[in-house]
Structure 1
Amino acid sequence: MDQGIRVVIADDHPFTRYGLRVLLESDPGITVVAEACDGRTAVSRVLEFQPDVVVMDVRMPGGDGLWATQEIQRARPGTKVLVHSEHEADPTVMAAMRAGASGFLLKAGDVTQITRAVRDVAAGAWIFHLSDTARMRPWFDQLRTARRDGAFPQLTTREREILNIIAIPKQTTRTAAAHLGISHKRVENALTDIKTKLGATDRAELIALARAAGLGTPP
């Protein structure tokens, strides 16, 4: 049965986990598949249940949210991490963003925003609910560029070029080949290798991963 958006909740406070589960599962399109009380368990649950989104506290024992985010993005980059913290100025939150988190919510914020935020990050958006968005926007713009430029280090330069073009709307393997001056067959072979390296099951998932990382910009 289709479970819609699959979520893991990682927080060391059981009442917080319970409240998040109730809120998230009030949305019929979201299913909480597992919970974790520390960072190491969060990584284990992600590997076991392969969720679409992790709602991640940053201050936890047994490997904090920063460490867990890094491990999740290394092992399963298709899983999005939504940081859920008490303090937006916490340096661990900023570090988690650099590590690959796709969004940030304050625990003291509007609790009804959590389901929308989970849906948005699952769709590939960046979500930042901050008290001073204008002040923080330049920092996040720089972070977005840095993450895009550093995305998928396991790919060769040529593979990144191909993936970037393929992620542009309405582009095909033939237009990528023409732009790069290589054969169509070489592009197809490269895409097969890229899917293997990134763990993508098909081209649609590959493009979604590329766009979520900021690729898909005209060369």
Structure 2
Amino acid sequence: MKLRVLIAEDHPLFRSGVRNLLQTTDDLDVVGEASSGEEALELADQLRPDLILMDIRMPGMNGIEATRHIKEKHPAIEILILTMFRDDQSVFTAMRVGAKGYVLKDADEDELLQSIRMVGSGGAVFSSDIAGRMMHYFSQPKAVPADDPAFAELTKREMEILERIAEGDTNAQIAARLHISNKTVANYVSNILNKLQVTDRNAAKRLLQKSRED
């Protein structure tokens, strides 16, 4: 039987290229395409694919949140992240919410096909670059967490950004203060919310304030 694949990717040309690649195989069947996290969630409900190729940065709901919701509703659907984001936070957050693989968009065709088949059969897979970064991550001392165990998974940089959020700084203000891009700040904020299991900045701020009061 063919592995039924849903492609969740907001760039039409890239999505078309992946679809065309999968259509050259005898064992992979593209059953649908989504251009946003919300659409991926809807199509997962309707089509019940075996596997979803999930981009991270999409309009509206991002791929991390979409993965979380899909795995909660349909734990049997496997998720393979296909993205340009190489940072450790994106990798570990994706794994934490249920993704079984993480492949970069510059992977060659054979690597992508092998990764889809591996995850579709219940395995886990990472691009060689990501695997190396994971080994490096685990070989380094962990960042000192906040006293409250709720913050134990946050890195030093994430705690720094959370402190700025608690002070009322916008993403643009945080980016200027830390000399990083707005996009990088937005990615950090998304990771912070995922790790703290809260839905917005105000909830994260309240959690930190409560920790200080205790």
| TM-score bracket, shorter-length normalisation | 0.5 to 0.7
| Alignment pair present for 1:84 and 2:88 | no
CA distances 1:141-199 after superposition (whole Å, capped 9, x unpaired): xxxxxxxxxxxxxxxxxxxxxxxxxxxxxxxxxxxxxxxxxxxxxxxxxxxxxxxxxxx
What secondary structure, in the 3-state scheme, does the structure 2 residue paired with 1:45 have?
helix
Q: For residue 111 of structure 1, report the CA deviation from its aligned partner.
A: 2.6
| Alignment pair present for 1:13 and 2:6 | no
Q: For residue 92 of structure 1, report the CA deviation from its aligned partner.
A: 3.0
What secondary structure, in the 3-state scheme, does the structure 2 residue paired with 1:78 have?
coil
Q: For residue 90 of structure 1, report the CA deviation from its aligned partner.
A: 6.1
Equivalent residue letter for 2:98: G
Report the equivalent of 1:67: 65
Q: For residue 108 of structure 1, report the CA deviation from its aligned partner.
A: 1.2
Change (3 A) 1:110 1:95: same
CA distances 1:96-136 after superposition (whole Å, capped 9, x unpaired): 11100000111012132111111110111000013163441
Q: Which runs of 5+ in 1 are unaligned?
A: 141-219
- The 5-angstrom pairing of residues 1-219 of structure 1 reads 2=1, 4-89=2-87, 91-131=89-129, 133-137=131-135
Does the aligned pair in 2 maintain the 1:104–1:129 contact within 8 Å?
A: yes
What secondary structure, in the 3-state scheme, does the structure 2 residue paired with 1:131 have?
helix
2-structure distance, mates of 1:114, 1:100: 19
Q: After TM superposition, which residue ranges in structure 1, 4 or more long, deviate above 2 angstroms?
A: 90-94, 132-135, 137-140
Equivalent residue letter for 1:24: L
Equivalent residue letter for 1:79: I
Aligned sequence identity (%):
36
TM-score when scaled to structure 2?
0.61
Equivalent residue letter for 1:71: H
Q: Which runs of 5+ in 2 are unaligned?
A: 139-214
